[in-house]
């Protein structure tokens, strides 16, 4: 009797916990659903019943209306987003991997400790405020309004560095020493021995860098001279700032801005969450 | 090495050069990373400090006029900045406490063995906003708070609650911004707590259970002390994060209403936009000093206690 009752109580607790966790998850996901509904519903329908859970109609006409935003084609923003995010991710992964490898492999070399400290200072500086002097630097380099200026600035990031740093630190020394004994030169050690072992971490860092850089907007806005180099988040911000806001257009653009990273995250959820936690813990 | 005696200083310099030359391939590996760190990190910071010492009008010219600490004096005498600074500190403290408490609570809930089957879905739902572009997330929140379009006031009305002022009322704007930021950031802190919870020593809990510890005692004396590393990491990250709150202000409030959300990052940016470079960079330096001091303080807290 007693055991039975306790079992009933226990499953009631489990059910309550499930109910609570599920409602919390639904609250967190609701803004996405509301955003999707907002693409299909016109202003009168939304103000009449903001809580409706299913659209009156599946009306995709808004995508035809936002074919041009701020004088630039919608597809240009999409292309910019993929090009800028992709290029800065590839550049960032290669540069950070090589740099972190050298810094952890030979920390005693002259200047290496200073470089590490210098990098740490850089990431402590409030990012939003770093962008202001970066504008001056990019101006002096003559890269204002160029893709190169944006991509170069976005390439480095703290989580990326800490993930590689942590990986190279835990790499067994014997692996490298065996290579040296076999007469391999440093380039061979890097490309033939380290790189194959580093594939999983390269994939994790690439994934996380892509997600982070896709979301960037402020450096892109500051370095750009015109909307021609805007990415989707910057275009969305510009649209959000216009007078007489176009609610449906904003929701549709927010949807397009969110979709690629949401899909990527759902496909690689474990790698993303574990990678971000690991990168933060070492930092 | 030459046999002739050389002063020790010079000798060590020669040795260093020799060491560097023998390892030149590593300098080759590190060169691009060093170049980017210097050009897009150290140089702008140095430039920012330099500009903060010059008159705004001449800041970008080849021969700027140096004015010493005048910009700092102007900034510190600016009542808008002082109010902005206090609001930033107050908001950061509030946001750090709310985010960490929420993230810890959710992590404990999701970590419960009773919820094992749904655990991955719950994690996914809470973490998705972290990877959602912040502009997109805050744009949606801005409209959710809208009086006529928004779902939040409609829901409050249905539940018979008083209307929520959202972003347009001075009484509610701070909490409204805080909720939107919590939605965006808390999943990250939760993940760090979950990683720490997964690494804890479960044998201690079994021993405590045998000794007849209550659930509260188990959490308070066995589990919470083991979460110290995650608490400190999250404390540092969240403090740095919320001291520089910016995007949410740009998207949702533009500093208003009545300057209520005119936090330091946003105010500095506004001055920069008006060409008041000297004052803007002076504010940046001050905020940088505060961030460094608070982070060092948090690290001091963690020093020598427990494994990192």
DSSP string, B186-254: HHHHHHHHHHHHHTS-HHHHHHHHHTT--HHHIIIIIIHHHTHHHHHHHHHHHHHHHHT--HHIIIIIT
Lowest mean pLDDT among A108-122, A210-224, B59-73, B185-199: B59-73
Cβ(B48)–Cβ(B285) below 8 Å: yes
pLDDT at B306: 44
Give the distance from residue A1's alpha carbon to the nearest chain B alpha carbon, in angstroms.
Answer: 23
Cβ contact, residue pair A126, B291, below 8 Å: yes
- Residues of A within 8 A of B40 (CB-CB) are 134, 137, 152-153, 156
**What distance separates the 2 farthest-apart alpha carbons in chain B?**
93
Phi and psi torsions of A191, nearest 5°: -85, -30
H or E segment to which residue A123 belongs: helix A112-124
Q: Which two tokens stand for residue A187?
A: 């380039």
- For chain A, counts of helices (H) and of strands (E): 16, 2
For residue A202, give Cα distances in angstroms to A83, A123, A266, B40, B191.
19, 21, 19, 23, 21
H or E segment to which residue A50 belongs: none
Cβ contact, residue pair B40, A156, below 8 Å: yes
Q: Which two tokens stand for residue A143?
A: 């890269």
Does the CB of A69 have a partner CB in chain B at under 8 Å?
no
pLDDT category at B174 given cuts 50, 70, 90 is very high
What percentage of chain B's residues is helix, strand, coil (to nearest 5)? 75, 0, 25
Residues with Cβ within 8 Å of residue B177, at least 6 apart in sequence? B91, B167, B245, B248, B249, B252, B253, B261
Residues with Cβ within 8 Å of residue A133, at least 6 apart in sequence? B44, B45, B47, B48, B51, B281, B284
Structure-derived torsion over alpha carbons of residues B173, B176, B182, B184, reported in degrees to the nearest 10: -100
pLDDT category at B9 given cuts 50, 70, 90 is confident
Does the CB of A78 have a partner CB in chain B at under 8 Å?
no
A vs B, Cβ pairs < 8 A, gives 280
Q: What is the mean pLDDT of residues B66-84?
A: 94
Structural domains in chain B, CATH included, are 1-52 (no CATH), 71-304 (1.10.3720.10)
Lowest mean pLDDT among B94-103, B129-138, B254-263: B254-263
pLDDT at B209: 85
* SS3 call for B77: coil
H or E segment to which residue B172 belongs: none
For residue B132, give Cα distances in angstroms to A32, B104, B125.
10, 21, 11
Does the CB of A238 have a partner CB in chain B at under 8 Å?
no
In whole angstroms, give the CA distance from residue B122 to residue B107.
10
* pTM, entire model: 0.91
- For chain B, counts of helices (H) and of strands (E): 16, 0
> Which DSSP symbol is given to A244?
S
Residues B222-274 pLDDT 10s:
889 999 889 988 998 899 889 989 999 999 999 889 889 999 999 999 998 89
Give the distance from residue A76's alpha carbon to the nearest chain B alpha carbon, in angstroms.
Answer: 18
The closest alpha carbon to B127, from B176, B199, B185, belongs to: B185
Phi and psi torsions of B54, nearest 5°: -120, 165
Lowest mean pLDDT among A113-122, B248-257, B274-283, B293-302: B293-302
Residues B195-209 pLDDT 10s:
999 988 888 888 888
Give the distance from residue A164's alpha carbon to the nearest chain B alpha carbon, in angstroms.
Answer: 13
In whole angstroms, give the CA distance from residue A119 to residue A43.
49
Beta strands in B6-157 (DSSP E): none
Cβ contact, residue pair A112, B25, below 8 Å: no
Nearest-CA residue of chain A relative to B46? Answer: A133
Lowest mean pLDDT among A215-224, A250-259, B145-154: B145-154
Q: Is the reported ipTM for this assembly greater than 0.95?
A: no
In whole angstroms, give the CA distance from residue B293 to residue B81.
19
Cβ(B115)–Cβ(B197) below 8 Å: no
Give the distance from residue B5's alpha carbon to the nearest chain A alpha carbon, in angstroms.
Answer: 23
What's the CA angle centered on A49, arms A45 and A54, to 5 degrees?
A: 80
pLDDT at A97: 95
pLDDT at B6: 57
Q: Which two tokens stand for residue B120?
A: 């991955």
- Residues of B within 8 A of A267 (CB-CB) are none
Residues A199-239 pLDDT 10s:
999 999 999 999 999 999 999 999 999 999 999 999 999 99
């Amino acid at each position: 009797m007693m055991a039975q009752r306790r079992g009933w109580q226990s499953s009631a607790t489990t059910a309550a916990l499930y109910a609570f966790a599920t409602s919390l998850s639904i609250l967190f996901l609701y803004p996405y659903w509301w955003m999707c509904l907002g693409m299909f519903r016109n202003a009168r329908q939304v103000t009449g019943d903001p809580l409706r859970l299913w659209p009156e109609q599946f009306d995709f006409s808004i995508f035809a209306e936002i074919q041009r935003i701020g004088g630039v084609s919608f597809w240009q923003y999409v292309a910019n987003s993929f090009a800028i995010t992709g290029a800065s991710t590839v550049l960032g992964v290669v540069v950070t991997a090589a740099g972190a490898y050298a810094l952890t492999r030979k920390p005693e070399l002259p200047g290496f400790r200073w470089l590490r400290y210098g990098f740490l200072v850089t990431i402590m500086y409030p990012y939003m405020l770093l962008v202001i002097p970066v504008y001056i630097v990019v101006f002096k380099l003559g890269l204002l309004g160029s893709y190169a200026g944006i991509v170069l600035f976005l390439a480095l990031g703290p989580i990326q560095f800490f993930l590689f740093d942590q990986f190279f630190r835990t790499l067994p020394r014997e692996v490298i020493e065996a290579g040296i004994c076999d007469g391999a030169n440093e380039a061979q050690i890097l490309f033939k021995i380290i790189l194959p072992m580093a594939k999983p971490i390269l994939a994790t860092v690439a994934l996380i860098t892509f997600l982070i850089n896709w979301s960037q907007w402020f450096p892109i806005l500051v370095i750009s001279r015109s909307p021609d180099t805007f990415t989707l988040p910057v275009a969305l911000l510009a649209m959000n700032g216009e007078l007489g806001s176009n609610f449906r257009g904003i929701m549709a653009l927010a949807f397009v801005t969110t979709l690629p990273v949401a899909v990527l995250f759902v496909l690689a959820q474990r790698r993303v969450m574990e990678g971000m936690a690991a990168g933060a813990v070492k930092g | 090495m030459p046999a002739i005696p050389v002063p020790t200083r010079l000798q060590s310099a020669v040795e260093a050069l020799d060491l560097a030359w023998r390892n030149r391939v590593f300098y080759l590996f590190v060169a691009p990373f060093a170049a980017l760190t210097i050009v897009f990190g150290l140089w702008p910071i140095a430039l920012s400090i330099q500009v903060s010492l010059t008159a705004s009008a001449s800041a970008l010219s080849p021969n700027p006029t140096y004015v010493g600490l005048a910009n700092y004096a102007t900034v510190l005498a600016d009542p808008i900045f002082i109010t902005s600074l206090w609001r930033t500190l107050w908001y950061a403290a509030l946001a750090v406490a709310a985010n960490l408490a929420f993230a810890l609570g959710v992590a404990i809930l999701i970590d419960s063995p009773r919820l094992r089957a749904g655990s991955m879905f719950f994690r996914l739902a809470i973490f998705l906003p972290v990877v959602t572009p912040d502009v997109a997330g805050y744009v949606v929140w801005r409209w959710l708070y809208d009086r006529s379009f928004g779902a939040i006031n409609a829901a409050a009305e249905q539940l018979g609650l008083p209307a929520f002022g959202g972003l347009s009322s001075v009484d509610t704007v701070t909490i409204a911004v805080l909720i939107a930021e919590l939605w965006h950031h808390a999943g990250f802190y939760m993940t760090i707590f979950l990683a720490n919870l997964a690494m804890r020593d479960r044998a201690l809990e079994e021993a405590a259970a045998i000794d007849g510890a209550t659930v509260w005692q188990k959490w308070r004396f066995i589990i919470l002390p083991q979460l110290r590393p995650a608490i400190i990491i999250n404390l540092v990250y969240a403090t740095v994060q919320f001291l520089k709150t910016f995007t949410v202000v740009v998207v949702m409030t533009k500093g208003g209403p009545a300057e209520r959300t005119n936090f330091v990052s946003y105010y500095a940016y506004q001055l920069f936009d008006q060409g008041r470079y000297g004052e803007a960079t002076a504010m940046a330096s001050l905020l940088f000093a505060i961030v460094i001091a608070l982070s060092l303080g948090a690290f001091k807290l963690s020093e020598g206690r427990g494994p990192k």
